[in-house]
Amino acid sequence: MGKRAKITIVGAGHVGATTAHWSAIRELGDIVLVDIPETGDMPKGKALDLLESSPIAGFDANIIGTTGYEETKDSDIVVVTAGVPRKPGMSREDLLNTNAKIVRSVVEQAVAQSPNCILIIVTNPLDAMTHLAWKVSGFPTNRVVGQAGVLDTARFRTFIAMELKVSVKDVHAMLMGGHGDAMVPLPRYSCVSGIPVTQLIPKERLDQIIERTRKGGGEIVNLLKTGSAYYAPGAAVTDMIEAIVRDRRRLLPCSAYCDKEFGVGGLYVGVPVILGGNGVEKVVEIELNDEERAAFEKSVAGVRTLVQQLGLL
pLDDT tens digits along 270-293: 999 999 999 999 999 999 999 999
6-146 fold: Rossmann fold (3.40.50)
Is a pLDDT exceeding 60 seen at residue 1? no
Q: 3-state class of 216 per DSSP?
A: helix
Q: Which residue type does 14 have? A: H
Where do the structural domains in the chain lie, given as residue ranges?
6-146, 149-309
- For 37-92, how does the pLDDT look when each residue is reduced to its tens digit (9 = 90+)? 999 999 999 999 999 999 999 999 999 999 999 999 999 999 999 998 777 887 87
Q: Which residues are catalytic?
A: 179
Using a pLDDT cut of 70, give the percent of the chain over it: 100
pLDDT above 90: percentage of residues in the chain: 93
Cβ-in-10-Å burial (0-12, 13-18, 19+) of 138 comes to exposed
d(CA 19, CA 158): 20
Q: Which residues of 53-81 are buried (b: 16+ CB within 10 A; e: fewer)?
A: ebeeeebebebbbbbebebbeebbbbbbb
Secondary structure (DSSP) of 122-175? -PSSHHHHHHHHHHHH---GGGEEE--HHHHHHHHHHHHHHHHT--GGGEE--E
149-309 architecture in CATH?
Answer: Alpha-Beta Complex (3.90)
Any idea what DSSP says for residue 177? B
The one-letter amino acid code at 206 reads L
Alpha helices in the chain (DSSP H): 14-25, 42-51, 54-57, 96-113, 126-137, 149-164, 197-200, 203-214, 216-224, 231-245, 290-309
Neighbours of 308 (CB within 10 A): 11
Residues 227, 83: Cα–Cα separation, whole Å:
12
Phi, psi dihedrals of residue 269, rounded to the nearest 5°: -155, 160
Four-CA torsion 264, 268, 271, 272, nearest 10 degrees: 120
- How far apart CA 33 and CA 63 sit, in angstroms, is 8
Residue range 17-38, pLDDT digits in tens: 999 999 999 999 999 999 999 9
Rounded distance, CA 311 to CA 299, Å? 19
Predicted pLDDT at 85? 79
Q: What is the mean pLDDT of residues 194-209?
A: 97
Q: What is the DSSP letter of 86?
A: P
**Nearest alpha-carbon partner for 133 in 109, 153, 104, 113:** 104
β-bridge mates for residue 6, sequence order = 30
pLDDT of residue 140: 98
Q: What is the pLDDT of residues 108-142, one digit of tens each?
A: 999 999 999 999 999 999 999 999 999 999 999 99
Residue burial 13-47, b: 16+ Cβ < 10 Å; e: rest: bbbbbbbbbbbbbbbbbbbbbbbbeebeebbbebb
User: Is 125:92 a contact under the CB 8 Å cutoff?
Assistant: yes
